[in-house]
Structure 1
């Protein structure tokens, strides 16, 4: 959806072949950026895994026998490749998100562009904040789980399983922080009213609490609240924004009706 030829094409229309060429070009740019970032991520995989295993070092220092192990011949390479893929996706995200927006946004109306750009602007920092929260509670959760190892036993943890657990926890908390933005987006689209969002606050609190209990082990009440409380706060913030949007929408509709009656 390029802007070339805008003067001779004021409506910025493009034939299907042009759309396909534009998509191919932007896809190739995103793909090259991902490959380059993944290659760099491969060299960062070992330091990142060492950083993730820091809680295990603390457990060893406290006298609890626990070790992170490679359990088969190909697992070391497999773990580093998976970390490289993940880091490549994250490190190249500014480029592929920009390419996606550059392809889609020109086809949208003005208000739709504002919605999409606003969604991205709010979702990205909230996702990062959620991942940071998951990273913060991760050591506490690992200590508690590994702490169940009976005396006389050594906890041998597979590197692949350890990475999967850490990634899923951090990613799940990051996604949960974005959910209120989706609620606001649905309100802007007219699918969900602010009153309905407020009415469902009990279910929201229950869902946040259950999610916090699900991603944290039983007995880790502090970690559960560290995850659940921000989710509840974000939900009520989304409800407040939705109520403001509904109020402005009602005023506009009332003004239009008044002008129509006067005419």
Structure 2
């Protein structure tokens, strides 16, 4: 294919991807009561699933420290276009999340023809695992990081005379940032897998620079989360676990590549 043919092919992949995002976004826009009443504003309510689980665990050990009767803050819109613009933003984000497997599949369809046959075999299942990790990250961000962050920041007061009244734009921005950031950060094992396949990184290098990686992870957690230590810790811990898992993945890849190379040498020798 010529360069222009590649551009034309890419254009149609982008159009189909945007079409899927728009379709899911329109559905989310129409289902306003469900999206906003249950999804967007869910982490601000005491009957949210995460808070109920915390209360059950707390009650099982004879304490009610993690049972909440109310959220001591309100969310309001201070701009004329605040609610409408956030309605559009939230619908677009939900459209992106819901259509992510299809969008990545379209991207993969454009990229995969340029790979060698062995590279396509090695990357078989990439769409499934990338989509799975993204969805797991989104769920972790929504059900763990977001409610704890909202609860901490909503209850934090430097003085009882200061009321917590948050703008809807600020709340939606934090929610979207945490959810999407967790979804993307959970791609770390996939990135390490392909870099190990390409010979760019090795398990020994990952172990050697583990301390440096911890510092980088702490910086990333500080950048993608609100400025509170609890939320940063919640993002840091799974990233550290994912980094450790990535070391084992890299070891597995290097071991298989070494075995394959040894087999080829025996056949040629």
Give the secondary structure class of the aligned counterpart of 2:200: coil
Aligned to 2:88, which of 81, 87, 91? 81
2:22 equivalent in structure 1: 35
2:63 equivalent in structure 1: none
Normalising by the residue count of structure 2, what TM-score does the alignment of the two structures yield?
0.77
Deviation by residue 1:210-240 (Cα, 9 ceiling, x = unmatched): 55566365453xx655433332222222212
Aligned: 1:249 with 2:257:
yes
Aligned to 2:128, which of 121, 126, 148? 121
Alpha-carbon distance in 1 for matches of 2:156, 2:12: 53
Aligned to 1:111, which of 114, 118, 128? 118
Distance 1:102 1:153, change over 3 A: same
Deviation at 1:165, TM superposition (A): 0.8
Aligned: 1:230 with 2:238:
yes
2:44 equivalent in structure 1: 56
1:166 equivalent in structure 2: 175
Give the secondary structure class of the aligned counterpart of 2:31: helix
CA contact (8 A) 1:45 1:83 kept: no
Give the secondary structure class of the aligned counterpart of 1:192: coil
Alpha-carbon distance in 2 for matches of 1:142, 1:124: 27
Deviates more, 1:74-83 or 1:140-149: 140-149
1:93 equivalent in structure 2: 100
2:31 equivalent in structure 1: 44
Deviation by residue 1:119-176 (Cα, 9 ceiling, x = unmatched): 4332221222122222223222112112223324332211111100111112222222
* CA RMSD across the alignment: 2.9
1:188 equivalent in structure 2: 197
Normalising by the residue count of structure 1, what TM-score does the alignment of the two structures yield?
0.78
Count of matched residue positions in the alignment of Structure 1 and Structure 2: 245
Structure 2 gap segments, 5+ residues each: 48-67
Deviation at 1:46, TM superposition (A): 4.9
Within 5 Å, which residues of 2 pair with 1:10-21? 14-16=1-3, 18-21=5-8
2:58 equivalent in structure 1: none
Alpha-carbon distance in 2 for matches of 1:199, 1:152: 51
Deviation at 1:190, TM superposition (A): 0.8
Deviation at 1:22, TM superposition (A): 3.4
Deviates more, 1:74-83 or 1:190-199: 190-199
Distance 1:211 1:98, change over 3 A: closer
Deviation at 1:34, TM superposition (A): 2.5
Structure with max Cα Rg: 1
Give the secondary structure class of the aligned counterpart of 1:190: coil
Distance 1:165 1:45, change over 3 A: farther
Deviation by residue 1:7-52 (Cα, 9 ceiling, x = unmatched): xxxxxxx345544443344333333323222211212355333333
